[in-house]
Structure 1
Amino acid sequence: MTSPLLTRHGAVAGLGPDAGVPWHYGDPTAEQRALEQGRAVADQSHLGVVTVTGPDRLTWLDSLCTQQVAGLAPGESAELMILSPQGRIEHVAGLVDDGATAWLLTESAPALATFLDRMRFMLRVEVHDATEDWAAIGEAVSRPAADGEPVTWVDPWPGVTAGGTSYAADPTALATTVRPWRLVLVPRASLGAEIEARLESGWTLAGTWATEALRIAAHRPRAAFDVDDHSLPHELDWLRTAVHLHKGCYRGQETVAKVHNVGRPPRRLTMLHLDGSGHSLPEPGATVLGRDDAEVGRVTSVARHHELGPIALAILKRSVDPSTELTVPTDGGPVAAAQELIVNADGFSADRPPKPGPTMKGLLMGKGCAADGGDLPG
């Protein structure tokens, strides 16, 4: 779907996962500053919307996903994942319930709706891909919707929600990171009018260049860019907000528990500070090279930040030394990259249980476990 904002003067269309909405409106640096200061609105109408209705909707979703949502109060926001039986990430969604409908905001709406519809069985739920009817507006605000306001999902990042944990190398690193963010759902037919009303109140427009730059700087993973067929939540520090470690069973839970309790994720998300002396930036998917030009990972997200300069997120092998200087090939030649740790290089979470004794160690996880690479802490 194409946003009506692409007809505005100066609007440049986004590409890839951000196709259909403006990338920027002519001054991406000013747009970032305005968004960071909480006085800009961003068109996020390229996101999908799936609705679930029926009296069993929350308990049913709770049984399928990584998050504890059975007791979600009206207006309360949560983030959840649907995993494969092997614990790989298949779908990510923000969830907010208005008391009658569970609203799921996701980048894989058709596939998620199809999966959920197949899992209904005899339960009293109805699933609908409502993307054609509803659109999201992004605001740098952390406040949930007040009475009478539209359905609003508030991003819990970078906090650690109940039942979650962090794999952060520096647990205090994000404490000073201010990234309030929420998505307001409006009828798609009213998208232009809703944004115009915000502009009349004194706000300005910001494109996805701005939203992505602030997201990357906040170490916030995004499914459309940072997840591949092998991704585990632990590798992306996504147990912060999207996984409840103490809830009931769900698909993929065994892998989540094993990696957290006695294993280690085979890869880790890191932020790269790219050499900005040239003009070339790597594309998402570009190879990351370490010592002796050995391949150690790949770039997943890239942006130019108004203060930090060119930055990226990358998935690296966990064994890569954090002090190693990396390079990334671009059309203009190799670009040097320095690591800013996101996920611990040792692969341990903040609340990892004590290591098992010699009697239990072999029973809990043996060599060759796919989730851990057959690698146990000493």
Structure 2
Amino acid sequence: MTYRSPLLDRPGAVAGTGPDAGVAWHYGDPVAEQRALARGGAVVDQSHLGVVRLTGPDRLTWLHSITSQDVEHLAPRASTELFVLSPQGRLEHALALVDDGTSTWLITEPDHVEPLVAWLTRMRFMMRVEIDDVTDSWAALGEPVDAEGTDTEPVTWRDAWPEVVGGGTRYGPPAAEHPGSDRDWRLVLVPRAELADAVAEREAAGWRLAGTWATEALRVEAWRPRLSHEVDDRTVPHELDWLRTAVHLHKGCYRGQETVARVHNLGRPPRRLVMLHLDGSQHVVPDAGAEVRRDGPDGKVVGTVTSVARHHELGPVALAVIKRNVPTDALLAVVGPVGSGADAQEIAVAASQEVVVPGEGLSADRPEARGETLRGLTRRGGDGTQSLL
């Protein structure tokens, strides 16, 4: 059954599409909603997101052993983020996590809930863990607050982005210089039957109800990756600068760790995330999925647009994943269809880069090179003996 939030019954509500289907894209005034969110006075319906609850005494040590983050001794009400990776280190699931002392709560994209629960169930073995999809009972609200939930509040996940959490690393600028440092965000879980009341309570305090037009614009401005947008079947976390919040580089073995360590140590992930400032003079821009090409006669395809937004100050902006070796000062063009059916037409929009992951592909704490790589491990001496080089 397709989900539809009761808040879509509000006057002026326009439904979202794609990964945000089921909640409002906006409520009639997207620019005002975005400004209210940016200044810390709005609440956003995120009730389409999936919620999984883990219970049992082994839940944190078990998650610690199979995911990218150190959660074995996670304190109650402390938020974190983690990945489930493939054996080749490709990103399969990105999970917001908070433990309330009794249960561990995982929040993820709606179309990832079923495969996530299936994978966790297969990995449980003899561990004392119960796995429940509680999306039908619990709903998320987004709010621009930079604080963990307290013992007197509902279960709350605070987004640490763009901090570099313990054990993580960064490819982009330090948090103090990062555009995401101005974006406060957390998700509050409420009983689904009380969703409208929770929104009304915040509106009574002077907040405005905003849609995903607003959240996406501020997310793109903050260079914040999203599983449903920036990730494909080839993505490794380094390409998106996502080792900041979701990977602990010094914890024990887990699936995909070898790739994480190798790319971190050697550098040069094959692709890199970039923010694009789009020419808005045509008043329309292609959607996510459009090609990114070198601007010039050859028009070589170098990447794909992953998110598109209209920011209340920056204008049309996008996130894209492009080949790492594209020069950071190269002029680009975004090429893709606008419209649908017989009225669809392909347009090209000029785009300038804002570097997220540097072109050299090196993290801030990459180990120093140890000299030239040797072809062999042994050599033969004049007396016929062999020794390690």
Short-chain TM bin: over 0.9
Between 326-335 and 240-249, the greater mean CA deviation after superposition: 326-335
2:8 matched residue in structure 1? 6
Q: How does 1:162-181 map to 2 (within 5 A)?
A: 162-168=166-172, 173-174=177-178, 177-181=181-185
2:332 matched residue in structure 1? 326
Determine which of 200, 209, 219 is the counterpart of 1:215.
219
2:21 matched residue in structure 1? 19
Q: In 2, are the aligned partners of 1:170 and 1:342 still within 8 Å (CA)?
A: no
Instruction: Measure how far apart 1:361 and its partner are.
Output: 8.1
Determine which of 224, 236, 247 is the counterpart of 1:243.
247
1:353 matched residue in structure 2? 367
Larger radius of gyration: 2
- Residue 287, structure 1, aligned to residue 291, structure 2: yes
Paired residue secondary structure (1:254): helix
CA deviation profile, 1:16-60 (whole Å, cap 9, x unmatched): 000000000111111111001111000001110011110000000
Paired residue secondary structure (2:121): helix
Kindly tell me: are residues 176 and 15 of structure 1, through their superposed partners in 2, closer, same or farther at Cα, counting changes over 3 Å?
closer
2:380 matched residue in structure 1? none
Instruction: Measure how far apart 1:328 and its partner are.
Output: 1.0
1:80 matched residue in structure 2? 82
Q: In 2, are the aligned partners of 1:302 and 1:311 still within 8 Å (CA)?
A: yes
User: How far apart in 2 are the matches of 1:144 and 1:102?
Assistant: 15
CA deviation profile, 1:273-292 (whole Å, cap 9, x unmatched): 00011111111111111142
Alignment RMSD? 1.4
Q: In 2, are the aligned partners of 1:169 and 1:341 still within 8 Å (CA)?
A: no
TM-score with structure 1 setting the length: 0.94
Q: In 1, are the aligned partners of 2:161 and 2:181 still within 8 Å (CA)?
A: no
Q: In 1, are the aligned partners of 2:180 and 2:224 still within 8 Å (CA)?
A: no
Q: In 2, are the aligned partners of 1:169 and 1:345 still within 8 Å (CA)?
A: no
Paired residue secondary structure (1:186): strand
Kindly tell me: are residues 192 and 171 of structure 1, through their superposed partners in 2, closer, same or farther at Cα, counting changes over 3 Å?
closer
Kindly tell me: are residues 124 and 73 of structure 1, through their superposed partners in 2, closer, same or farther at Cα, counting changes over 3 Å?
same
User: How far apart in 1 are the matches of 2:159 and 2:366?
Assistant: 25
Paired residue secondary structure (2:120): helix
Instruction: Measure how far apart 1:262 and its partner are.
Output: 1.4
Determine which of 283, 287, 311 is the counterpart of 1:305.
311
Kindly tell me: are residues 26 and 265 of structure 1, through their superposed partners in 2, closer, same or farther at Cα, counting changes over 3 Å?
same
Between 25-34 and 325-334, the greater mean CA deviation after superposition: 325-334
Paired residue secondary structure (1:293): coil
Q: How does 1:114-263 map to 2 (within 5 A)?
A: 114-168=118-172, 173-174=177-178, 177-263=181-267
2:387 matched residue in structure 1? none
Paired residue secondary structure (2:164): coil
Paired residue secondary structure (2:150): coil
- Give 2:353's aligned amino acid: Q
1:316 matched residue in structure 2? 322
Kindly tell me: are residues 317 and 170 of structure 1, through their superposed partners in 2, closer, same or farther at Cα, counting changes over 3 Å?
farther
Q: In 2, are the aligned partners of 1:169 and 1:344 still within 8 Å (CA)?
A: no
Paired residue secondary structure (1:334): strand
1:106 matched residue in structure 2? 108
Paired residue secondary structure (2:277): strand
- Residue 52, structure 1, aligned to residue 54, structure 2: yes
Instruction: Measure how far apart 1:170 and its partner are.
Output: 7.1
Paired residue secondary structure (2:195): helix
Q: In 2, are the aligned partners of 1:14 and 1:21 still within 8 Å (CA)?
A: yes
Between 118-127 and 278-287, the greater mean CA deviation after superposition: 278-287
TM-score with structure 2 setting the length: 0.91
User: How far apart in 1 are the matches of 2:19 and 2:46?
Assistant: 11
Instruction: Measure how far apart 1:114 and its partner are.
Output: 0.9
User: How far apart in 2 are the matches of 1:199 and 1:361?
Assistant: 67
Paired residue secondary structure (1:358): coil
Kindly tell me: are residues 49 and 171 of structure 1, through their superposed partners in 2, closer, same or farther at Cα, counting changes over 3 Å?
closer
User: How far apart in 2 are the matches of 1:167 and 1:64?
Assistant: 25
Q: In 1, are the aligned partners of 2:163 and 2:175 still within 8 Å (CA)?
A: no
Instruction: Measure how far apart 1:173 and its partner are.
Output: 3.5
Aligned residues: 363
- Residue 335, structure 1, aligned to residue 315, structure 2: no
User: How far apart in 2 are the matches of 1:235 and 1:124?
Assistant: 35
CA deviation profile, 1:295-342 (whole Å, cap 9, x unmatched): 000000000000000000000000101111111124362100000000
User: How far apart in 2 are the matches of 1:129 and 1:208?
Assistant: 24
Instruction: Find runs of 4+ consecutive structure 1 residues off by over 3 angstroms.
Output: 169-173, 359-363
User: How far apart in 2 are the matches of 1:304 and 1:157?
Assistant: 21
Paired residue secondary structure (1:105): strand
User: How far apart in 2 are the matches of 1:44 and 1:176?
Assistant: 20
Paired residue secondary structure (2:287): coil
- Give 1:260's aligned amino acid: H
User: How far apart in 2 are the matches of 1:319 and 1:206?
Assistant: 39
